[in-house]
């Protein structure tokens, strides 16, 4: 995921409340309550996310000192055989597209789809119709840079499908490279644990979707 906007954070107006307790029926609380973590790390991150959403009326607000929610996408080709990753210009590693919410964006799906479109150049991206939303959650530290203090990104990750024939366009200002990888090629990359977990989940749900499509296109339903 590319962290966008590296300038100093905008301070809230005097007397403004950046962080007020969110309601128990917040849509994010409901969605996260349905999420089933794949390992102990994700379980701990899920608990942190739930507590964070409960504390903040707008958990995507970058003015929250401790951190904020972000949205990212595991972008899979229409055929289900490849996944798009970009090589972060400053971090020097392969990541999924994603980043911060824009003002007014209040859900991870919107953030993930917009960021994925901006960072891959693909028009017509769509959320996977049956995969969990989010597909994966991950909390990770962001080091201090310039006037921006160290904080945490609480990332909501979604499975996104590219249209047939989609081509990639690299964001030159942020990525050294952008390319499609076959699933088997991922083993050669130095990816962090959370991204590998999300990619495994994406591959599993992509295979299920393709199997269902094969069945629906077989009039006799035979195999």
CATH of the domain at 185: 3.90.79.10
The answer as to whether 10 is a domain residue is: no
The answer as to whether 132 is a domain residue is: yes
Given a cut of 90, whether residue 12 has pLDDT beyond it is no
Of residues 6 and 136, the one with the higher pLDDT is 136
Given a cut of 90, whether residue 146 has pLDDT beyond it is no
- Distance, CA of 185 to CA of 13 (rounded, Å): 49
pLDDT in tens, 185-212: 999 999 999 999 999 999 999 986 544 4
The answer as to whether 188 is a domain residue is: yes
Structural domains in the chain (count): 1
Given a cut of 90, whether residue 44 has pLDDT beyond it is yes
The answer as to whether 94 is a domain residue is: yes
Q: pTM value?
A: 0.84
| 179, containing H or E segment | strand 175-182
Report the pLDDT value the prediction gives residue 78, as an integer from 0 to 100.
95
Given a cut of 90, whether residue 7 has pLDDT beyond it is no
35 close to 138: Cβ distance less than 8 angstroms = no
Report the pLDDT value the prediction gives residue 144, as an integer from 0 to 100.
86
Is the torsion defined by CA of 216, 217, 219, 220 positive or negative?
negative
Given a cut of 70, whether residue 166 has pLDDT beyond it is yes
Percentage of the chain with pLDDT > 90? Answer: 70
The answer as to whether 8 is a domain residue is: no
Q: What residues have CB less than 8 Å from 11, skipping those under 6 apart?
A: 63
The answer as to whether 162 is a domain residue is: yes
Report the pLDDT value the prediction gives residue 216, as an integer from 0 to 100.
41
pLDDT in tens, 59-76: 999 999 899 999 999 999
Report the pLDDT value the prediction gives residue 214, as an integer from 0 to 100.
47
Domain boundaries, position 153: 27-216
The answer as to whether 211 is a domain residue is: yes
91 close to 192: Cβ distance less than 8 angstroms = no
- Distance, CA of 174 to CA of 172 (rounded, Å): 6
Distance of CA 81 to the CA centre of its chain: 20
Of residues 11 and 136, the one with the higher pLDDT is 136
Report the pLDDT value the prediction gives residue 28, as an integer from 0 to 100.
92
Range ranked top by mean pLDDT from 88-92, 156-160, 219-223 = 156-160
Of residues 136 and 10, the one with the higher pLDDT is 136
The answer as to whether 199 is a domain residue is: yes
Average pLDDT of the residues of the chain: 85
Report the pLDDT value the prediction gives residue 51, as an integer from 0 to 100.
96
């Amino acid at each position: 995921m590319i962290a966008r906007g590296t300038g100093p954070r905008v301070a809230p107006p005097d007397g403004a409340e950046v962080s007020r307790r969110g309601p128990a029926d917040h849509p994010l609380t409901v969605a996260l309550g349905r999420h089933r973590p794949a390992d102990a790390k994700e379980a701990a991150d899920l608990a942190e996310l739930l507590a964070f959403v409960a504390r903040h009326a707008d958990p995507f607000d970058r003015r929250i000192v401790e951190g904020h929610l972000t949205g990212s996408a595991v972008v899979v080709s229409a055929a289900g055989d490849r996944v798009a990753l970009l090589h972060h210009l400053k971090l020097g590693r392969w990541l999924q597209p994603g980043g911060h919410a824009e003002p007014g964006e209040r859900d991870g799906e919107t953030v993930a789809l917009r960021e994925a479109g901006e960072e891959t150049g693909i028009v017509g991206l769509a959320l996977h119709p049956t995969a969990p939303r989010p597909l994966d959650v991950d909390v990770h530290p962001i080091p201090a840079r310039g006037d921006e203090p160290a904080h945490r990104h609480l990332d909501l990750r979604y499975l996104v499908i590219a249209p047939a024939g989609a081509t990639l366009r690299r964001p030159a200002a942020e990525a050294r490279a952008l390319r499609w990888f076959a699933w088997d090629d991922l083993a050669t990359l130095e990816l962090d644990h959370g991204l590998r977990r999300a990619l495994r989940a994406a591959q599993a749900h992509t295979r299920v979707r393709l199997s269902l499509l094969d069945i629906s296109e077989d009039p006799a339903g035979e195999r």
